[in-house]
Amino acid sequence: MSSHDVMPDMGLYQPVTVEDAAGIARQYSERGWLVGGGQDTYGWLKDRAKRPEVLIDLKGIESMRGIRETADGIEIGALVTLTELTRDPLITERYSLLAEAAGRVASPQIRNVGTIAGNVSQDVRCWYYRRGLNCYRAGGNLCYADTPEGMNREHALFNASRCVAVTPSDTGPALVALEAQMVISNGSSERVVAAEDFFVGPNVDITHTTVLRPGEILTAVRIPAKWANAEFYFEKVADRNVWDFALVSISAAMRVNNGVIEESRMVAGAVEATPRRLDRIEQAIRGKARNQETADEVAALAIQGARPLNYNHFKMPLLENLVNRAVRGHA
């Protein structure tokens, strides 16, 4: 009988170039598993919920490290750790929204190892799915969380399609707010996808959370200069202040001139399977003062269309209140 405290047998590749890594990933397809920091990986493997034949360790690929200034912003290597994001001067001075979001991930020990690519690519955290039950996302014909007896306190308010799990990423909503672009390589060519389109919901693909496909690797994240030094707001509400996933989070970037909001991007986390762009709020606050009056006028727009489950109704006023705080501009 196997112990869940012992890792299963599998092969290990440690390529040093993106081309080699992508080639191995193509060779093994769904039977291979890409590893950066490995913080999401090892739990899956120890629980036997995922059984890849090989691990493809990306940590030796130097081209996927570092944070660089570009002609139109910055480029962040996919292997940059969450701790590096919280300390890098380019990030903290110009894009503090991302630094704040990265700083709220899990614990210092995990942030020291976990990478930005891993944080945006991790699978959903529904415990029914993680326990290996044959739910819709695992190829079955039932969502255990979306039943009369299902425990769904942490699950989706919006756009659930068979699966009601939510995105667990803290940095994902911040990247969508910053209009980041995700650089994806298959070893021979690159494609660049807007962060907003990088994440996919169950109505598009119930077995994947991103547009990445076997043989593809997220190699970098680019953030345009457009939002450098804007006014930012980030807040995450979780059951515990450390080592916990969001119940609801809010990431906002605003251009404000003489107290008037000229342009904004506002994104909620942990309310659906992808970071949720709050475009109704963005439209409603354009041209208005950034103050409490405006916040009170628009906050209710955040929950229009919500379809709460048995145990997550509390997320609606929570989301509304976080939007209110983001619009008015102080905690």
Q: Mean per-residue pLDDT for 86-111?
A: 97
Which residue in 53, 68, 203, 58 sits closest to 121, CA to CA? 58
Contacts of 279 (CB under 8 A, 6+ apart): none
Alpha-carbon gap, residue 64 to 323, rounded angstroms: 35
pLDDT value for 2: 47
Q: Mean per-residue pLDDT for 247-252?
A: 98
Q: Would the pLDDT of 324 be above 80? A: yes
Which residue in 33, 30, 9, 38 sits closest to 21, CA to CA? 33
Tokens of 174: 């911040």
Instruction: Give, in order, the Cα–Cα distances in Å from 104 to each of 83, 101, 115, 170, 290.
Output: 10, 5, 13, 7, 25
Q: Where in 206-310 does DSSP place strands (E)?
A: 217-224, 231-237, 248-257, 260-269, 276-277
Q: Would the pLDDT of 280 be above 60? A: yes
| Inter-residue contact 66 to 74 (CB < 8 Å) | no
Q: What number of helices (H) and strands (E) belong to the chain?
A: 13, 12
Q: Would the pLDDT of 163 be above 50? A: yes
Q: Would the pLDDT of 278 be above 90? A: yes
pLDDT value for 1: 42
Instruction: Give, in order, the Cα–Cα distances in Å from 114 to each of 5, 278, 313.
Output: 21, 28, 32
Q: Would the pLDDT of 179 be above 50? A: yes
- Ranges of each domain in the chain: 11-60
| Inter-residue contact 318 to 271 (CB < 8 Å) | no
Q: Would the pLDDT of 39 be above 70? A: yes
Average pLDDT, the chain: 94
Alpha-carbon gap, residue 25 to 217, rounded angstroms: 9
Contacts of 60 (CB under 8 A, 6+ apart): 14, 15, 16
Environment class of 73 (CB within 10 Å of its CB; exposed 0-12, middle 13-18, buried 19+): buried
Question: Which band of pLDDT confidence, cut at 50, 70 and 90, is reported for residue 4?
Answer: low
SS3 231: strand
| Inter-residue contact 123 to 163 (CB < 8 Å) | no
Q: Which 3-state string (H, E, C) describes 57-101?
A: ECCCCHHHCCEEEECCEEEEECCCEHHHHHHCHHHHHHCHHHHHH
pLDDT value for 45: 74
Tokens of 214: 């076997």
Higher pLDDT, 50 or 266: 266
pLDDT value for 5: 60
Q: Mean per-residue pLDDT for 192-216?
A: 96
Q: Would the pLDDT of 9 be above 90? A: no
Q: Mean per-residue pLDDT for 139-151?
A: 95
The CATH number of 11-60, from 3.40.50.620, 3.30.465.10, 1.20.200.10, 3.30.43.10, is 3.30.43.10
pLDDT value for 43: 72
Which residue in 290, 284, 222, 217 sits closest to 258, CA to CA? 290
Q: Any idea of the CA torsion for 163, 165, 171, 174, to the nearest 10 degrees? A: 70
Q: Mean per-residue pLDDT for 91-114?
A: 96
Reported as a single tens digit per residue, the pLDDT across 50-97 is 788 999 999 999 999 999 999 999 999 999 999 999 999 999 999 999
Question: Which band of pLDDT confidence, cut at 50, 70 and 90, is reported for residue 47?
Answer: low
Question: Which band of pLDDT confidence, cut at 50, 70 and 90, is reported for residue 331?
Answer: low
Q: Mean per-residue pLDDT for 145-152?
A: 95
Q: Would the pLDDT of 136 be above 70? A: yes
Tokens of 10: 């599998």
pLDDT value for 48: 59
